[in-house]
Structure formats: C-alpha cells, structure tokens
Chain A
Amino acid sequence: MGDSAFVPSAVSAVPTAVPTRTDTSRHSALVRVTHWVTALCFFALLVSGGEIVISHPRFYWGEVGNDLTPTLFKLPIPASRKLVPTGYGYLLPDGNGWGRYLHFQAAWVVILTGLLYLIFGWLSGHFRKNLVPRRAELSWRAFSKAVVSHLRFEKPGEAEAWSYNLLQRVAYLFVIFVLFPLVIWTGLAMSPAFVSAFPATVNVLGGQQSARTLHFFVSLSLVLFLLVHVGMVWFAGFRSRMRAMITGRVATPLAAADVAVDKEST
C-alpha cells in the first residue's frame, strides 16, 4: 500500500537545506484505487442507465406506468423503442441488452468496491480523520464563511492540498452515506425478484414506478455532484489534484507545509 496517510509512519520529515519542494503523502492507496474504480463504474452506470432510459423516457409515480397511463413527466427526447409516443419520427439506437448487462455488472463492482472502502474507512479512521468535519468547523459561522468563500471563487489556500475543507467534507459524506445508498436502494426496489424477498423496500417508496423515478433523480444528483467535483478540481489546480489522486503525492513548497502543520497543531 506504500506510505499511506492513515498509517502513522515512523519516518518524520527531514528537511534538508537544499530542496524547496518535497513530496507529501496525500491519499492512501486504497482511497485512490477505490476512487478510480468507482469513477469508472459510475461512468459505465451513467452510459448504460441512459441507454436503458431512452427505451422508455417517460416517468410515473406509484406502482405502474405505461404508454396508456398519465406520466409524472416525460424527457423531451426520442426513444429507442417503437411503441413509445415521443412525437419524434425516428428512433435512437437500442442497446438494452448490453445496457442492462453493463449496468448490473458495474453496479456489482461499485458495490463491492464501496464495501471495501467502508470497511477500510471505518478501520483506518479515514472517515473520522479526513471526512467528518473538525470540531472547530461545526458552527454556522464556519459554515457560512466556507460557503461565502466558495461563492466568491476564492482560490483554495496551499493548506487545502493536504486536507479537505468543510464543504468538501460535507459533500463527500453526503455522497457516500446518502446518495450512494439511495441509488442502490431505489435500483434494487425495481427488481421483481429482490422485492419478492424484501417487499418493504419498494412499498415504502410508493411503488415500483416511484422507485424508478427516484432512481432517476438520485442519479441526476450524483451527476450534479460529479460536475461540481470535476469543476472544483479544475479550479483548485487540475494537475496537482489529479496527481494527488493518482500517485498519492502532493508536490508542495516546504515552507507552506510547515505553515500548514503549525496551523493544524494550534
């Protein structure tokens, strides 16, 4: 696993006289691997989910919905299947076969990866140390300050290269512990076999079509998160942030590292 951020190392910083930059460990190998596997799976789920949705781009609430029942809303796009009344005179390419295969395979991989990440995050203290907001940040003042600085598009300080800021922590925790569980739940609630064993999982959502509609909106929320996430990475410095998430290292001026350490220990 290399030198991870979560395994306290006996090796301490030995600032020599010459270098002005050094490599610091930022993300542990497990965080990096699970991050990229999840990213790949999410892309696969998004493409295949889109492919499945175009075969019937109509949404309903309740148990049932079809071309003869009123919709909650329709996507203003053509469909890949003939019978759906979309108002378009042509069809989109149909890929439900591979779409469904890919969707469920990617779902399995991302769920198993997520489980590994949860176990690791729990045991290593990753959640406690890196994701749960620090006590000093748990105030409206700190929260509004963070929101304002984000709204002003203030460049993140050097210290943020080593640690998540308050809004990042809240956003990541929300994605990990709310959106991902919700998207898995609403997905399973559409499975006729799964709900035969666990009918409450679909009944509390208001029905199978409600589950489908909710699945769509939770997925949209995840896409929204992804857009903001990638936008913020770009804004904060695409190369350095990507480097940190791929190699685990942050190239950083030593002076700034010292400042960050001081700030942390006070």
Chain B
Amino acid sequence: MSEPSYHNVSPGRASPSKFSRRQLIATGLTAAAGVAGVGVAARLAQKYGLVPPDHGGVWGLGETLTYASQRLLTRHSLAREFSRDQISKPPFANEIEPFTDEFKRLQAGRFADWRLSVDGMVARPASFSIDQLKSYPSHTEITMLQCEEGWSYIAEWIGVPLSQVLQTVEVLPQARYVVYFSFEPDTWESIDMADALHPQTFLTYGMNGDELPVGHGGPLRLRVPRQVGYKNVKFLTHLTVTDNLKKFGKGVGGASPEGGYAWYAGI
C-alpha cells in the first residue's frame, strides 16, 4: 500500500532540473513519432477510401473518424429488415416543394416520359424509363427510413438494385462515387461505391405493394437504408459515376453538405 497522496508535499518550483535533457529528447522523439504516425494513418486512410469529401474544416476530425470507423465496421453489413406487420400505416411523408408544371405534365402521363440518365465513368451511358427499370428483377425490402430530425417509419420498398443499373452501364474500375440528382433543382447527393454497390441500395419505384407515391418521391427514389433520410433523394432523374467529387458544385459531394450537413449520414 503506497502512502496517501497528501503525504507528498510538493517541494515547490525551486527544482532546476524539472526538464532534463533526457526528457526533452524523449518528448521530441515522441512528438516526431506522433506526427509521422498521423501522416502514415492519413496515407492509409486515403488509400482504403476512409476519408470523406468533407474532411476539411472544423468538423473534419469527427467526420473522418465516423466515416472511417463505420466503413471499416459496416462495409458488408445489412440494414435491419422488419416483418410485414411492423410496416407503419400510413407512412409519414415529409414536406416537399410544390410541383412544377413540368412535373405535373409528367405525372399526367403516368411518368411514361420520366427518364433516369446515367453517365460519367461508365462504358455505356444510358437512359432508363420507369418501365425499363421495372423489367429488371425487382428487389423488395422492409426497412426503416429515419430522418436526421428524429422521426422514422418502416415501409416496404420495391425497386431495382443500383448495382444492377451500374452493371448495365458498365462502371469503369476507377469509379469511386455515384452522384445522383433530383428533378427538384439544387437537390443532389452522392455516395461511395461501397454504398452504391451495397445490395440494399436501390432505385425504388414502389412502396407497400403499390406505386411509389409522389409524396415519397415517386416515380423514382434512391434508398440508402444505412444512411439517414436526406441521402434518400426523391424524384431521381440523373446519376453520374465519378472518381472525384470536387468537380460537382462546391466540391463537397451534395446539396446537404453544401447546406452545412455531413456528407456521410450513417449516424
């Protein structure tokens, strides 16, 4: 048993050898090793795609740690799926902008003229109608949509895996992100290839056994169930595959990051 701490009355600040040469050298070496370690870690993180596009600035530290750790932990994990009796009735539809005349015209034509164009780092750029997307084997899942505000609902989503479409247009190997755009102006986001090729990431045209209601982003919405609501862009019209998000907008990969929200929204 050591002595109680208050036995150790400080000798005061008179001691001249508080920082010995040995201590200074040790501190210097530790600091140098620390800086080198951070440098190596940054290199490795960059190489293995663990650095989010909004890694700069005051929030860069937290964002990079969140993105890197979740990428390492969740690269292949599946979002929780629910049973049919857990489906929320009715599903809650968040606020949307009033429809434009152009949208109303498309809606009147039952979205027969709606197109999803895909370009960028792909061998065969293409444009898909909703019917063409429906011709692929459909994918159904009952997952939760949760908003960053705190509310949530569970729905059955029907659509085609994004990986199916990316395979059709033949994504080039150097691709790193998929940028996706809405019919609504200035509404676009992006995801990395780990999420783009994830089996639960899909283009949804149906919900709860029916067409996807316009209130929920119909005729076409991207579902990324492992990220919160704002990454699940409604009224999808355009996808671009890229290796660099700097080319888009302000270079942080989406309208939400440009509006002050995190690019990666897995939390």
Contacts and interface: CB of A to CB of B under 8 A. Distances in A.
Interface of A: 3, 5-6, 8-9, 11-15, 22-26, 52-53, 55-56, 58, 63-69, 81-84, 96-98, 100-102, 104-109, 129, 162-163, 188, 190-197, 199, 202, 208-209, 212, 249-250, 252, 257, 260-261, 264-265
B144 A96 contact: no
Interface string B229-256: 0000000000000000000000000000
8 A-B pairs with least C-beta separation = A105-B62, A193-B266, A97-B260, A5-B5, A56-B150, A66-B92, A13-B9, A66-B151
Contacts of A212: 150
Given A23-B10, A64-B154, A66-B92, A196 B74 contact: yes
B259 interface: yes
B174 interface: no
Contacts of A65: 151-152
Interface in B6-42: 6-12
Nearest to A248: B10
Contacts of B8: 3, 5, 8-9, 11-13, 24-25
Nearest to B67: A193
B38 to A, nearest CB: 14
Interface in B115-174: 144, 146-154
Contact of A191 (B11, B86, B147, B266): B266
A208 B151 contact: no
A196 B9 contact: no
Contacts of A188: 267
A66 B66 CA distance: 26
B154 A63 contact: yes
Interface stretch (B75-83, B105-113, B176-184, B207-215): B75-83
Contacts of B48: none
A249 B12 CA distance: 11
Contact of B88 (A56, A69, A257): A69
From A64, A162, A192, A257, residue with most partner B Cβ within 10 Å: A192
Given A81-B149, A100-B148, A66 B10 contact: no
A193 B226 contact: yes
From B5, B62, B227, residue with most partner A Cβ within 10 Å: B5
A162 B226 contact: no
29 contacts: A8-B3, A8-B8, A11-B10, A12-B7, A23-B9, A24-B8, A24-B9, A25-B5, A26-B5, A52-B149, A55-B149, A56-B147, A64-B152, A64-B153, A66-B151, A66-B153, A69-B88, A96-B148, A105-B61, A106-B62, A108-B65, A162-B5, A192-B144, A193-B77, A193-B226, A194-B70, A196-B80, A196-B226, A261-B4
